[in-house]
Amino acid sequence: MPVDRAEDNQFEAPDNIDEAALAAVLRVVPLGAAVLAGIAVALVVLGYLLVYLLVFLPRGVVG
Amino acid sequence: MSDRYHETPQHWILRTELLWAFGVGVLVAATITIIVFTALTRNINPPSNVERVDPKTLHLSGEFAEQNLGTVVAADGTVTARIIATQFMFAPHCIAVPEGRLVTLRFASPDVIHGILITGTNVNTMVVPGYVAQVHTEFTRTGELLMPCHEYCGLGHSEMWANVQVLSAAEFKPDRDGRVTCAQH
């Protein structure tokens, strides 16, 4: 059986990424993800509230 | 430099995820609060009724026999409409209801699962064979409303619909037996 060498494996090959630069990027990335997801969720909630206030409540009693 | 700057990326990501989870928790709590608030203050609830009926003898006797179908006003003034949903029609095909009064709609099916909604209202329920589907509602505008079957029930499903005629107090006149039928225009 041939032994896998680290440099043959795309996941383990050295990538020459500066750890400090990576840490700096990772400090910002979650903020961007949160803003993007926040906008998406806010739009869904806004749609829900508009339907609730302008369609559901005026249609009145049911049960 | 702030303490946050000295945190590892893993800590920062964990903090963001916890904050997001908290935000989602707030949204879920707000949604549940709105549902409960609406139910308590506006009397808007999901229709719920567990009441058995024998689908095999539906048409022979009892509440859903042919002579009992349609709208009837009881001596105490309560308005009840009884409708059979069957492949591929509603009986009766037109249901007369009053404007601005609480109406009880009762549905039963002798064959397969159907579903109904009344356009422009919150009325929406399944009609399951063996059970009586019951919905209380109040119609706020006069006019003709469409009531289609909204649960696929077979090849004729798209032809299965009825009219709901919302009549003003002047037009909603029960006969001697308390029965009200659709006005002919």
- Tell me, what's the pLDDT at B59? 85
**With a threshold of 0.90, does the pTM exceed it?**
no
Q: What is the mean pLDDT of residues B134-142?
A: 95
If asked whether residues B75 and B165 sit together in one domain, one would say: yes
Backbone angles phi, psi at B45, to 5 degrees: -135, 160
If asked whether residues B115 and B163 sit together in one domain, one would say: yes
The answer to whether residue B29 sits within a structural domain is: yes
CA B173 to mean position of chain CA atoms: 25
Three-class SS of B121-169 = CCCEEEECCCECEEEEEEECCCEEEEEEECCCCCCCHHHCEEEEEEECC
Enter the tokens of residue B107: 């549905």
Q: Looking at CA atoms only, how far is residue B155 from chain A in angstroms?
A: 30
If asked whether residues B84 and B155 sit together in one domain, one would say: yes
The answer to whether residue B8 sits within a structural domain is: yes
The answer to whether residue B185 sits within a structural domain is: no
B5 touches chain A (CB under 8 A): yes
- B8, pLDDT greater than 80: no
Q: Which residues of A touch B122 (CB under 8 A)?
A: 56, 59-62
Cα dihedral B79, B102, B49, B59, rounded to 10, equals: 20
The answer to whether residue B47 sits within a structural domain is: no
Q: Which residues of B touch A38 (CB under 8 A)?
A: 23
If asked whether residues B33 and B63 sit together in one domain, one would say: no
The answer to whether residue B48 sits within a structural domain is: no
For B66-107, what is each residue's pLDDT tens digit?
999 999 999 999 999 999 999 999 999 999 999 999 999 999
pLDDT band at B1 (very low <50, low <70, confident <90, very high): very low
Q: Which residues of B touch A61 (CB under 8 A)?
A: 42-44, 102, 122, 136-138
CB-count exposure of residue A60 (10 Å: 0-12, 13-18, 19+) = middle
Of all residues in chain B, the one with the smallest CA distance to A23 is: B9
The residue range of the domain holding B23 is 3-42
If asked whether residues B27 and B110 sit together in one domain, one would say: no
If asked whether residues B84 and B170 sit together in one domain, one would say: yes
A56 touches chain B (CB under 8 A): yes
Task: Return mean pLDDT, chain A.
Answer: 82
The answer to whether residue B49 sits within a structural domain is: no
What percent of chain A is modeled with pLDDT above 70?
A: 79
If asked whether residues B74 and B151 sit together in one domain, one would say: yes
Of all residues in chain B, the one with the smallest CA distance to A59 is: B121
For B33-65, what is each residue's pLDDT tens digit?
999 999 999 889 888 889 999 999 988 888 999
Q: What is the mean pLDDT of residues A4-32?
A: 73
If asked whether residues B102 and B138 sit together in one domain, one would say: yes
If asked whether residues B62 and B135 sit together in one domain, one would say: yes
Instruction: Sketch the domain layout of chain A as residue ranges.
Output: 18-59
| Mutate which: B14, B20, B79, B97, vs A, most A CBs within 10 A | B20
If asked whether residues B32 and B94 sit together in one domain, one would say: no
